[in-house]
């Protein structure tokens, strides 16, 4: 183990204002690492940071892998379990185009989303603020991640808030 790997290391968690876990990471300096995350799309959503200290990088990295697998932060890519997706075939003419459907992220503007879902724009922004919908900002445009709406409706169904048809 190198001298750097033997130094005390921090495990940090970034949360948004609704308490949703955004990211888990390790660093020798959680404060310096936070400033490095300023380039991340989700940096402006961070309202709370929790830090745990470990005696070395190896123990912090093990705790990080466990935290990511168990706590499912939104923006970590490493250590996440992803079921192998089934390829989707598009078109009937040979040769068919195949692509991995899990790599698609479908978004729409707040205005279009409000029209499609029947939810008012004010409520859409509330759901974004509460972390119940996910969105990305590109330039001045706020885009809603459609998958987050599907997840939200499933949660409502599970909670028994949506009437069965």
Q: Cα separation of 58 and 45, whole Å? A: 29
Looking up tokens 């998958």 gives: 147
Question: Is there a single domain that holds both residue 64 and residue 110?
Answer: no
Does the global pTM surpass 0.85?
A: no
pLDDT along the chain (165 residues), means of 10: 78 90 89 81 85 92 92 79 54 51 73 88 93 90 88 82 51
With respect to residue 165, please indicate whether it lies within any of the assigned structural domains: no
pLDDT at 57: 92
> What are phi and psi for residue 24, nearest 5 degrees?
-125, 135
We report the CATH number of the domain holding residue 113 as 1.10.10
For residue 119, the enclosing domain spans: 101-158
What length does the chain have?
Answer: 165
């Amino acid at each position: 183990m190198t001298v750097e790997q033997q130094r005390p290391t921090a495990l940090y968690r970034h949360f948004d204002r609704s308490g949703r876990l955004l990211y888990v990471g390790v660093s020798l300096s959680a404060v310096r690492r936070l400033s490095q995350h300023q380039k991340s799309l989700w940096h402006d959503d961070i309202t709370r940071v929790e830090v745990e200290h470990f005696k070395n990088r190896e123990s912090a990295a093990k705790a990080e892998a466990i935290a990511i697998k168990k706590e499912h932060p939104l923006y970590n890519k490493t250590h996440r379990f992803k079921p192998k997706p089934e390829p989707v075939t598009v078109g009937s003419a040979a040769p068919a185009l195949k692509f991995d459907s899990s790599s698609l992220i479908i978004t729409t503007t707040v205005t279009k989303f409000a029209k499609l879902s029947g939810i008012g724009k004010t409520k859409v922004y509330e759901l974004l603020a509460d972390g119940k919908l996910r969105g990305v900002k590109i330039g001045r445009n706020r885009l809603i991640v459609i998958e987050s709406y599907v997840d939200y409706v499933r949660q409502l169904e599970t909670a028994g808030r949506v009437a069965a048809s």
